[in-house]
Amino acid sequence: MIAINALWTFSLMVGLLTLTPGLDTALVLRTAALGHRRRAWGVVLGVQSGTLIWGTLTSLGVTALLTASHLAYEILRWAGAAYLVWMGGRLLWASWRRSVDEASETSGSGAEVTSGSGSGDSLPGGWRQGLTTNLLNPKMGAFYVAMLPQFLPADTSHLAAGLLLTSVHILLAVLWAGVLITLGHVLRDRLQQPTARRCLDRLTGTVIAAFGVRLALGE
């Protein structure tokens, strides 16, 4: 079995990783701040489903093939970068279009401005978004390949030990996500104001697109 000190060390490392602001944080906070609580939890469950897949494949030694194959890694890296840039660009475009619609309303059109999100408070929709974002991030696979094998004891099943460690990571991430969703819910009324909503979408879109560019550049 896994030694207690090794389990605590792994928990500390993935805990610090979880607390580091990143793409997942931006997605969950924005979704919760818009009042889409179910979708926010869907994003969380999707991301953690991806984490479970990465942990399982690493325990079985499959993800080592990904890092060993330059072509496979590059394909996944460019697919992930394209997806993130597209997602960030869509948010930026929606915020710009919303500005134009609101300007038209101010000039006397009298039309009601819609939210423009088109996503709704859908748990399955959030799950798909979170899962896709996680699985198209090759750095997640590289992290598990570099980290997880160090904590897998030689005298026990690698799959069982790997799933135990991955479950610790998922538990910490879900607990932190609960804090983020609560924070987003508290700020919901303020962030749903038109100006605040545009700023939120532009900030989130820029962050997501920047992650995509960084992934494309291999940083």
- Tell me the per-residue pLDDT of 58-85, one tens digit each, with 9 for 90 and over: 888 887 776 677 777 788 778 878 988 9
Q: What is the C-alpha separation between 204 and 25, in angstroms, rounded?
A: 10
Of the two residues 192 and 142, the one the predictor is more confident about is 142
Check residue 35 and report its DSSP letter: T
pLDDT tens, position by position, 157-173: 888 889 999 999 999 99
- What pLDDT band is residue 111 in, cutting at 50, 70 and 90? very low
Averaged pLDDT, 130-135: 92
Q: What is the C-alpha separation between 218 and 141, in angstroms, rounded?
A: 14
Q: What radius of gyration do the chain's Cα atoms show?
A: 19
- Given a cut of 70, whether residue 112 has pLDDT beyond it is no
- Given a cut of 50, whether residue 117 has pLDDT beyond it is no
